[in-house]
Amino acid sequence: MTTDNANASTNSVSITLQNTEDARPIVDAIVADNPTAVVQHFPAMVKIDAPGRLTINAETVGDKVGREWDPQELHLSVISLSGNIDEDDDKFELAWN
């Protein structure tokens, strides 16, 4: 592994969600708000990697599901996370501090 690849993987954050009807609008919102995110679909899960930071905005997910969405609802679909979490009523964010 080269130094550039090592730094890229060290600075990447990720979230893995269950591949369910409830999680699909969350994935769509993540893609909409994080243009550098890379999405990998698997039969039972969806893995999303992003360089540096990944933000899940409650307003964007709410628009996708057609109702107010609380970032706490994300925990019902999460399989794993990689990064430090910053969560409030408006967003759920992963980044390395």
CATH number at residue 26: 3.90.56.10
Domain span including residue 79: 3-95
Residue 97's pLDDT is 84
Q: What is the rounded average pLDDT of the residues 69-97?
A: 96
Task: At 23, give phi and psi (nearest 5°).
Answer: -85, -20
Q: Kind of pairing, strands 53-57 and 78-82?
A: unpaired
5: pLDDT confidence band, cut at 50, 70 and 90?
A: very low
- List the single range of 7-16, 40-49, 55-64, 76-85 with lowest mean pLDDT: 7-16
Look over the chain and give the mean of its residue pLDDT values, rounded to a whole number: 92
Residue 56 to residues 1, 2, 28, 48, Cα–Cα distance (Å): 31, 31, 10, 12
Residue 53 has pLDDT above 60, yes or no: yes
Under 8 Å between Cβ of 47 and 12: no
Number of domains in the chain: 1
